[in-house]
Chains A and B, each alone.
Chain A
Amino acid sequence: QLQQSGPGLVKPSQTLSLTCAISGESVSSDSAAWHWIRQSPSRGLEWLGRTYYRSQWFNDYAVSVRSRIIFNTDTSKNQVSLQLKSVTPEDTAVYYCARWESYGEYFEQWGQGTRVIVSS
């Protein structure tokens, strides 16, 4: 199960921070990758990136946000987090974390989604 947390309102130019707590599986599982996806009426479903562990941690980011985004992992809390810096109203969206099943190659599980509004 994936449980998301984080603020629903962020001011322009500030940093959006979201956390995805994972239960029932280790965040370091070699059969999973943890992705972030956002959804807005203007952009639809937009993949933001992924983090996964295969003897070491790997991150891949979408080009559109690469200069502003960071993924972190807290193995003691079994959670992943997203930080998106210098947000603008265009970053307003519902943000999802999702578990990618690496053997079947599909999004097997999604967080409940966090609606984030960027506004002053």
Chain B
Amino acid sequence: DIQMTQSPSSLSASIGDRVTITCQASQDIADFLNWYQQKPGKAPELLIFAASKLETGVPSRFSGSGSGTDFTLTIRGLQPDDVATYYCQHYDNLPLTFGGGTNVEIK
């Protein structure tokens, strides 16, 4: 199974800050990586697919980059509505696996 390692597990940042979350795959997954946002009590929602493609309706302050084993989710200009847990997920093969999540809070 491909292991997905996210860091940090949690962070606290100020409104307007740039926030960076990293995700590392245990083997090369090309760009077969998605990012999701999950708010408390809700199901995850897609933010980024194929490592860098923004899902329709997602604010442009979100962006994704990377390929191979190292990936990044960036939030440029953190907003109160961005308080959530963020997960990466690979789809290179089965089983699909998720990172452990990054909890983003406002300082």
- Evaluate contact between A107 and B98: CB separation under 8 angstroms: no
Could you tell me the distance in whole angstroms from the C-beta of B29 to the nearest C-beta in chain A?
A: 12
Q: Is B44 an interface residue (CB 8 A)?
A: yes
Number of interface residues of A (CB under 8 A): 19
In the complex, are the beta carbons of B43 and A111 less than 8 A apart? yes
Are A105's CB and B49's CB within 8 A?
Answer: yes
Instruction: Report, as a range, how many residues of chain B touch the other chain.
Output: 20 to 34
Q: Known interface pairs A62-B95, A105-B49. Does A110 touch B43 (Cβ–Cβ under 8 Å)?
A: yes
Which partner residue on chain A sits nearest B34 by CB separation?
A106
Cα(A80)–Cα(B50), bound, Å: 27
Known A45-B98, A47-B97; judge A105-B43 contact (CB<8 A): no
Chain B nearest CB: distance from A72 CB in Å? Answer: 20
B contacts, CB < 8 Å to A? 32, 34, 36, 42-46, 49-50, 55, 87, 89, 91, 94-98, 100-101
Q: State the A residues within 8 Å of B (CB).
A: 35, 44-47, 60, 62-63, 96, 98, 104-108, 110-113
